[in-house]
Structure 1
Amino acid sequence: MSDWKMLTLVGADQPGIVGRVTSALYRAGWNLGEASMIRLGGNFTIMMMVTGEGEVEAVLQPVADELSLHMHVDDIAGSLHQHVVPNIQVRVAGADRAGIVAQVTEVLAQHGCNILELESDVAGSSERPVYIMHIQGYAELPLESLEAALDNLGDIDVNVSPIETLIG
């Protein structure tokens, strides 16, 4: 079993972040596991599992300094091949207001849904913002039960649908 670390890097979006970070890790003999990299509000965020010899901070600090990235590293008890295949997706849209994420995710949790991925965006304009959220998860309850539970959230449109995954 490998000793995994969770590496988080955040900074202003600019070309070359992924290439510079992953190249520095590769050249130093570090291996990548699962990763999530995304642009959020003009910033770029990397979260990835890494394993290797030495101190990953020493390997990446020059790159982080040059690109003005904030770095955080945690030891984790992770391993590969632990992926849960999502079987539902939830799409939410409505006028942006406080509490949408909390309301939807609390209902999903109360009904045993394990959220595997959540992405959100604020569209529209500053005068008329629209909150959009996409969730992928795993639930053992029938879709109709989740739909009924999410149907009582008022002024937001919530759509629950199955994810058909072919694994061969």
Structure 2
Amino acid sequence: MQTHIILTILGPDRPGLVQDLSAIFTAHQGNWTESRMVHLGGQFAGLLQVSLPSDQLIALQQALDKLQTNGLQVLFAESKNSLVHEDSDLLHIEVLGLDRPGIIRDITAQLAALKVNIEELFTEQRTAPMSSELLFFASLVLSLPKGVSADQVKKQLEDLSDQLMVDLNFD
């Protein structure tokens, strides 16, 4: 039987870190199925899903525990659902506007009120080309629950965009 695990890894970045992780998974018959990894402020931050035989789970945990002696923090959780929400409609939104605290809070409050789930969220600060002012950019992939349409989400967020002074682009 296959087990699906979700790992969060945080620690000092170094060349070869991802290779070390992949070697551990391979040694335990694991299949690296999905991941997001980034270098932030000198740190490695990774979130990944691995599928492996259930009888390899304890040995994999022990091997990952050894990484923690190198300054890495590893959080380990068994996934109960390895499938993507195939029956949900997905909506992609991009947000761009002058940076200020609270933009994500305000947008996510509207989404939570509609029971919309955030599947992916990417944010960054960008410099405006002409003025060099700091801009906030976000890209969201949303999973819409049954009974909530893309048009409802668009209307809710477009009403908010005037208050936030941001541009919204819906895909």
Q: Which residue in the other structure is 1:36 paired with? A: 36
- Give the SS at the match of 1:62: helix
Is this contact kept in 2: 1:111–1:141, CA < 8 A?
no
Structure 1 residues 113 and 122 mapped into 2: Cα distance closer, same or farther (>3 Å)? same
Q: Which has a greater percent of helix? A: 2
Return the offset for 1:10: 0.9
AA aligned opposite 1:55: A
Cα drift, residue 30 of structure 1 = 2.7
Q: Which amino acid aligns with 1:124?
A: T
Aligned length: 158
What is the alpha-carbon distance in structure 2 between the residues aligned to residue 157 and residue 59 of structure 1? 46
In the alignment, is the contact (CA less than 8 A) between 2:10 and 2:73 conserved in 1? yes
* Counterpart for residue 8 of structure 1: 8
Residue 47 of structure 1 pairs with residue 47 of structure 2: yes
- Root mean square deviation, CA, Å: 2.7
Over the matched positions of the two proteins, sequence identity in percent amounts to 22
- Identify the match of residue 155 of structure 1 among 143, 164, 168: 164
| Aligned: 1:120 with 2:123 | yes
Unaligned residue ranges in structure 1 (runs of 5+): 163-168
The runs of 5 or more residues in structure 2 that have no matched partner are: none
Work out whether 1:60 is the aligned partner of 2:68.
no
Give the TM-score normalised by the residue count of structure 1.
0.76
2:90 aligned partner = 87
Asked if the contact 2:98/2:166 (under 8 Å) is kept, the reply is no
Q: CA deviation at 1:128?
A: 4.5
Kindly state the Cα deviation for residue 133 of structure 1 after the two structures are TM-superposed.
0.8
Equivalent residue of 1:109, what SS?
Answer: helix
Displacement, 1:64? Answer: 4.2
Q: Which 10-residue stretch deviates more, 103-112 or 17-26?
A: 103-112
2 CA distance for matches of 1:5 and 1:142? 31
